[in-house]
Amino acid sequence: MCGIAGIISAKHNIGNLQEMLKLQQHRGPDHTGEYVDPGYCALGHNRLSIIDLSAKANQPFTDNSGRYHLTFNGEIYNYIELKQKLKAYYNFKTESDTEVLLAAFIVWGKSCLNQLNGMFAFAIWDNYEKKLFAARDRFGVKPFFYSIEDKEFYFSSEIKAIKSLLKSNSPHEQVWANYFAYGSYGMPGETFHQNIQQLPGGHFLEYHGENLKLNKWYNFEDSLESYSHILSFEEAKKSYLEILNDSISLRFRADVPIGFNISGGVDSSLLLALVNRHHNNKNIQAYTFYTGNENYDELAWVEKMIETTQNPLKKVKIQPTDVIENAQFLSNIQNEPYAGLPTLAYATLFEAAKKDGIKVLLDGQGMDEQWAGYDYYQKSGSSTTIQGTGKVNPFRANVLKKDFRQLAEKPVYPTPFNNELQNLQYRDLFYTKIPRALRFNDRISMAYSTELREPFLDYRMVEFAFSQPKEYKIANGFQKFLIREILKEIAPKDLSYAPKRPLQTPQREWLGNELKDFTEENLEKIRYSKASHWFNFEEIQKEWRNYQNGDNQSSFHIWQWINTGLLMGEVVDRL
């Protein structure tokens, strides 16, 4: 994984590109490279070496003819298979997936995207036609931000790299208003910054002669047509397990050490069991966090699974002081609101892995969305996007001033399917859950120069699972039914049928008690920030008192305001 950056402009300044690369150096500390096409383009790259560690694979990478120049973030997991297909048309000089990606584009053009199994955001400059082509993977695992100002086109892996160059960068007030009123983190092309956009997952862009065109290359709905044949439950289990095993095998391709993040849930238990079952590698390091609060911790479940696999386990304990020490750092890394104490806790695993020399971690993101694992999937007419809140409204729009509150519009998501369950799954895959989680996870993993791989987000797995009948997903009162049936054959049954636990940290308790001063400090920051005109502070104080007096079934609204306090100094005050 790496960082990419570029400036397409007749008057680009190499110093500006170098500033962008410096701001995201944590994404790739192993090498920093630049390519300049004078009067047209400057490309930059921060490299985190994972496959082919030699200097020959450094980027920006130039093809044999000298025409095409690539800056690439991510991994093409099936690069070995693609290389075999391309050898007849391209003379390879490295063992990298980077060169395979560039060769695929040269040989197959835009259609190469459909051949790629991986996570990626990349840009290719054609110095003959003076044209930029850029693309993002199907689900948007890897980021691609861009902006146009004064006829200059900027792109990068992180918002701060672009923000440092813009003359005008105000907050996107409607995105902020929707965040407070509805918990939305923006639509696929939006950010919390007015003048900075993101290329949606499954899209590519072309920039030529100051003209920008965006196109969708991955049509998820059409891809499901190949799964129209209904399999028996046992056939579906067998077919899915084959794809899952292959996905894990592909994601073990690396020239550096690999580890795991593990919780006590079904998903990571399945991942850990299959890795050890098929790779016979019991010295793979596993990482988990805990808080010492038995009402939330999953440590007992994790240790039970580890008893089966015998992997070495590093347990990282999270305490309130860690929140105080790390919250601002992670806010600066995210550049946008993030999800609270679970994200802070998750970040400590990457910090621990980095200290241990582990450069790649795997985790179990994506299974809930493809196999209907959230509680609201069983509730007809549900519009919630937050697991485990029941009937409690997690938002407090009453604290917003009227003119700002009126900017908020409840997001409306496409409903391309003829049933409610698949429409909810589709929303979570492409608009809410997955984009949000991937954004948090990319930024915290790269803050510690560590690559995160998501085996369960292999597009073949998602398409297959999504297309299966509802009774394969939810049965006998259990969600992710087919997955549980697979797991019970290779793990203790009480693990395979363990209930979904929506919260992993005592955020509700800590914010009102151990972190009371921290909370109030950040609420006070809002009052003196450039966002102060968004809020009615009497209402905020009223809600804060209510929270302390027991109205704390949901802490999301409190964290929203803490997020704002943390970001105002680092994001809004500098706009």
Domain boundaries, the chain: 2-218, 227-496, 508-572
Which residues have a catalytic role annotated?
Answer: 2
- The correct CATH number of 227-496 out of 2.70.98.10, 1.10.10.10, 3.40.50.2300, 3.40.50.620 is 3.40.50.620
Return the beta strands (E) in 61-117 as ranges: 61-62, 68-76
Annotated binding site: 97
Contact between residue 97 and residue 105 where contact means Cβ atoms under 8 Å apart: no
Q: How far apart are CA 2 and CA 28, in angstroms?
A: 5
Exposed e or buried b per residue across 51-90, where buried means at least 16 C-beta atoms within 10 angstroms of its C-beta: bbeeeebbbbbbbeeeebbbbbbbbbbbbeebbeebeeeb
Rounded to an integer, what distance in angstroms lies between the CA atom of residue 457 and that of residue 369?
10
Calpha distance 429→385 (Å, rounded): 11
The model carries a pTM of 0.94
* Residues 114, 218: Cα–Cα separation, whole Å: 8
* Interatomic CA distance for residues 49 and 327, integer angstroms: 28
Whole-angstrom distance, CA of residue 374 vs CA of residue 362: 22
Binding region for L-glutamine: 97
Radius of gyration of the chain measured on its C-alpha atoms: 23
pLDDT tens-place values along the chain, 575 residues long: 699 999 999 987 899 999 999 999 999 999 999 999 999 999 999 999 998 889 999 999 999 999 999 999 999 999 999 999 999 999 999 999 999 999 999 999 999 999 999 999 999 999 999 999 999 999 999 999 999 999 999 999 999 999 999 998 899 999 999 999 999 999 999 999 999 999 999 999 999 999 999 999 999 999 999 888 889 999 999 999 999 999 999 999 999 989 989 887 888 888 888 888 766 656 789 999 999 998 888 888 888 888 888 889 999 999 999 999 999 999 999 999 998 999 999 999 999 999 999 999 999 899 999 999 998 998 876 666 665 555 678 899 999 999 999 999 999 999 999 999 999 999 999 999 999 999 999 999 999 999 999 999 999 999 999 999 999 999 988 899 999 999 888 876 667 776 665 557 899 999 999 999 999 999 999 998 989 999 999 999 999 999 999 998 889 999 999 999 999 754 333 33
**Where in 177-328 does DSSP place strands (E)?**
197-198, 203-208, 211-216, 258-261, 286-290, 313-317
Residues in the chain, overall count:
575
CATH for 2-218, options being 3.40.50.300, 3.40.50.150, 3.40.50.10140, 3.60.20.10: 3.60.20.10
Cα 351 to Cα 147, 186, 204, 445: the distances in Å are 31, 28, 33, 8
Give the residue among 90, 116, 85, 114 at the shortest CA–CA distance from 103.
90
Q: 178 with 186: CB under 8 angstroms?
A: yes
Long-range contacts of 328-334 (CB under 8 A, 24+ apart): 328/566, 328/570, 329/447, 330/444, 330/447, 331/563, 331/566, 331/567, 331/570, 332/570, 333/443, 333/444, 333/447, 334/439, 334/440, 334/443, 334/444
Amino acid 315 reads: K
Whole-angstrom Cα distance, residue 67 to residue 90?
A: 14
